[in-house]
């Protein structure tokens, strides 16, 4: 049995929800893992009504499956849905790059290039990290945020925030599974170099290639981790 996570503090349903969501994204609660109201009541030190509220909210974003009279489990990853979400994110980030090229003046573009360069240098120190739990995730997020914030498009990602959670869970699986950190750094460098060179089409292609992470390993991943994925 799991030990109580919060023995001295009474948590609100919102706090429990955020913590459980984080554990699912980080794969601490694994796809298809069976969970129960009693178990979570004990772990968080809260009432069943709180856990039921949390379970309902997690079900709404497709993070848990509730089977009446049978039980509750963490939802497996749906690679078809994740592929669709990545397509949507790719369209948004390609548009961000387009606006970088068309909306920023030379001074703003130079400042952007300098920020990306400094970020890439920090990423290089993470090249030997094996999972998505060290310093690299911070620099990975920062790399994309630098471009997004330069054209004031952060609200676009708020609109698809629930979808981004599913992308994040997939990323937390695929990065250590496929030892992707060195490749991610090289892909970021390609995007950076394309922007620096002023090649819009090349920068957009590089971003699309960077975000397409499903097709190349889907068959192998589902074969080796069948319980992690939704079977059509």
H or E segment and range at residue 36: none
Are 184 and 109 members of one domain? yes
Are 200 and 96 members of one domain? yes
Domain residue limits at 17: 13-74
* Cα distance from N-terminal residue to C-terminal residue, the chain: 33
Are 87 and 46 members of one domain? no
Give how many domains the chain has, as a whole number. Answer: 2
The CA-CA-CA angle for residues 8, 13, 18, to 5°, reads 90
Q: What is the pTM of this model?
A: 0.91
What lies within 8 Å, CB to CB, of 159 at 6+ separation is none
Are 51 and 25 members of one domain? yes
* HSE-CB of 141 using CA atoms within 13 angstroms: 12
Are 132 and 187 members of one domain? yes
Q: What is the average pLDDT across 193-214?
A: 96
pLDDT of 113-140, one tens digit each?
999 999 999 999 999 998 898 999 999 9
Report the CATH number that the domain containing residue 125 is assigned in CATH.
1.20.120.530
Q: Percent of the chain, pLDDT > 90? A: 85
pLDDT of 37-73, one tens digit each?
999 999 999 999 999 999 999 999 999 999 988 899 9
Are 44 and 87 members of one domain? no
């Amino acid at each position: 049995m799991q030990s109580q996570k919060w023995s001295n503090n009474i948590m609100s349903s919102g706090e429990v929800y955020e913590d459980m969501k984080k554990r699912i994204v980080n794969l601490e609660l694994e796809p298809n893992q069976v969970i129960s109201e009693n178990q979570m009541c004990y772990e968080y030190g809260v009432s069943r009504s709180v856990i039921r509220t949390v379970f309902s909210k997690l079900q709404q974003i497709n993070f848990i499956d509730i089977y009446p009279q049978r039980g509750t489990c963490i939802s497996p990853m749906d690679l078809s849905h994740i592929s669709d979400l990545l397509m949507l994110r790719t369209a948004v980030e390609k548009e961000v790059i387009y606006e970088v090229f068309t909306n920023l003046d030379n001074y703003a573009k130079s400042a952007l290039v300098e920020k990306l360069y400094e970020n890439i240098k920090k990423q290089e120190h993470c090249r030997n990290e094996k999972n998505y739990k060290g310093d690299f995730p911070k620099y990975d997020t920062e790399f994309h945020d630098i471009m997004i914030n330069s054209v004031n498009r952060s609200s676009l990602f708020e609109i698809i925030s629930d979808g981004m959670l599913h992308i994040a869970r997939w990323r937390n699986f695929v990065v250590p599974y496929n030892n992707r950190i060195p490749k991610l750094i090289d892909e970021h460098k390609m995007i950076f170099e394309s922007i620096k060179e002023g090649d819009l089409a090349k920068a957009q292609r590089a971003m699309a290639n960077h975000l397409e992470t499903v097709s190349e390993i889907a068959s192998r991943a589902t074969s080796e981790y069948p319980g992690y994925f939704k079977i059509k």
